Amino acid sequence: MKTFLIVGMGRFGSALATELCALGNEVLAVDSQPEPIQAVASQVTHAVTADARDPEVLRELSARNFDCAIVAIGHDIGTSALITLNLKELGVEKVIAKASSHTHRKVLQKIGADRVVFPEHEMGGKLAHTLSSSNTVNFIELYEDASIIEIITPQKWVGKTLKELDVRNVYGVNVLALRREGRMLIAPGGNLPLEATDVVVVMGLDKNVNRLQNL
């Protein structure tokens, strides 16, 4: 079980808090307004109405004892940045902050956020990749320039082995696994012929991953 402090009970923050708690983690939900706190109180471990802009409030909540703190405030850059800075100065081991724009993300990165998430951008990118290619099953952004995708075996790959295809050298990606008939084959052998119904899980730089979507 991990412990999470989540500040900001908007749609993103409340969904994250309730899901983390449902997965068996300890979650403290914080918001400056009582209404959103009342809405999630029965679905998280603890819920508190408090102003996280005040470092003393965060100290009283023992913020530094949590495994991870998430600042889920995207509409106010100043408030988001101040709370993120407060958490880092208090010594919280890992601080994740939500950004609402590229400028917001840069600000959060500069003041020390360990990770910045951009939910709308990430979801938009994921949906765009899935919709634009008929063989893409799933898309996961790892970093700004690297991703994991699940693709239905391209027609020109059917019947060939990974060794014959030499995927790493020819396409610049790594095959992590295959999904075949409901089973996941991790690190499939190079001599395994690919079938038309296989779903291939590959990882690589976006420029290389994008090539696979056009095969």
What residue ranges do the domains of the chain occupy? 3-117, 122-212
∠208-96-77 over CA atoms, to 5°? 100
pTM of the model: 0.62
Please report the pLDDT score of residue 130 as a whole number: 47
Domain 3-117 has CATH 3.40.50.720: yes
Please report the pLDDT score of residue 208 as a whole number: 84
Q: Which of 36, 7, 5, 39 minimizes the C-alpha distance to 21?
A: 5
Please report the pLDDT score of residue 122 as a whole number: 57
Please report the pLDDT score of residue 55 as a whole number: 95
Residue 205 CA to its chain's centroid (Å)? 17
CATH topology of domain 122-212: Alpha-Beta Plaits (3.30.70)
Query: HSE on the CB side for 143, CA within 13 Å?
Result: 6
Q: Give me the average pLDDT of each 10-residue run along the chain (215 residues).
A: 93 90 93 95 96 96 95 89 95 92 88 83 50 50 67 90 90 87 84 90 82 74
- Which sign, positive or negative, has the C-alpha torsion 20, 23, 25, 26? positive
DSSP letter for 4, please: E
Q: What share of the chain is helix, strand, coil (3-state, %, to 5)?
A: 40, 30, 30
- The DSSP element (H or E) to which 145 belongs, if any, is none
